[in-house]
Amino acid sequence: MLAISEQNARYRHGGPSEYRASVPKVIHVANVLTHRQPYLDIKCQLGEGPLYISERNELRFVDIWNEKLYVVDLEKGPSSLREYDTGKPFGVTADIEGSDTEIVAGAKDGYVRFDLTTGKQEYLAKLWDQDDNPDNTRIMRMNDGACDTSGRFWVGSCSDPKVIDFTDHGILFRLDPDGSLHRMWEKITIPNGIQWNAKDDTMYMADGPTERIWQWSIDPNTANIKDRRVFFHQNKYPGHLDGSAFDEEGYLWSALYGAGRVIRISPDGEVVGEILLPTRNITCPTFAGTVLYITTAAEEDPEKHAESARYGGNLFRIDVGVKGMKKNKFRWNKQRYV
């Protein structure tokens, strides 16, 4: 493999030196970039859901197992980190359009509105109230998701491994701005990396145990999806596909849980670059400009993988030289809660 040229670059708000890599628009040989220093030495049990808020230059992410929400001001640096107790597992969050203090989260058993100033929570929608199996409230949880360009919030559910083993009973849900809840796809094991391309006509989602990133044709007006097919088959590395983020050149950056890396996938489904990290369980990347922020999870076998255990659960960042696609907000337009 051909190593990307590296140079030290110190961020304006301090912290350790980082590597800056210029990512060519066309790469025919896989490129490898190794990165070791965490931005936040925070030791999440299951760090996930990183999201950049450009209006305030903040990064938000969650620790699912420890039921925590974190916000850090990227101008002020690590000392500005704020911590919130969520009281239930939050898998992913999104901003609410028009609000600076409220967000919406894909939580244990539904979509929750969370006030960052008071900590107050209210359900926008519960997943299982009308379900044939009411025990789903206990055995399932929401995992990963994102908002589309029309402000609909898509989140996939999965078995809660703290309660039962993973099954294929997961469902991809969609919460519309009017408060209506839709089941869009079923028989999912671990849904991750829900994304849309720049043309807004294709949706992507990984299902880790299948080792595939799937894509669907989508009508951006109706949000109907059809014609599922394989975009990428992960059969080279250990571990499973996890969260992802698109850059402005149409390449998908995907975390590999258990493989200690983030891979860059071309629009043709070819791996053209890698970021190697010092811990195995990489969960999700997100862009803040050209800087990629990467969440991780704790090491399950610290005796066997001592180095991975040392860095597991930390937040990493690295400048990859290409900007990411902007994230959308939830366009909640109904002041009624269940």
242 is in an annotated binding site: yes
168 is in an annotated binding site: no
The residues near 21 (Cβ < 8 Å, ≥ 6 apart) are 4, 5, 6, 33, 318, 319, 320, 321
The SS3 assignment for 245 reads strand
How does 16-40 read in b/e, with b if 16+ C-beta sit within 10 Å?
Answer: eebbbbebeeebeeebebebebbbb
The rounded distance, in Å, linking the Cα atoms of 27 and 155 is: 33
Sheet holding 212-218, edge to edge: 191-196, 202-207, 212-218, 225-233
Q: What residue type is assigned to position 286 of the chain?
A: T
Q: What is the dihedral of CA 133, 135, 137, 138, to 10 degrees?
A: -160
The SS3 assignment for 203 reads strand
224 is in an annotated binding site: no
Sheet holding 31-34, edge to edge: 2-3, 31-34, 271-276, 261-265, 252-257, 240-246
The two tokens of residue 282 are: 């990489």
141 is in an annotated binding site: yes
186 is in an annotated binding site: no
Active-site amino acid positions: 242
Detail the residues annotated as belonging to a binding site for a divalent metal cation. Answer: 48, 192, 242
Detail the residues annotated as belonging to a binding site. Answer: 48, 141, 143, 192, 242
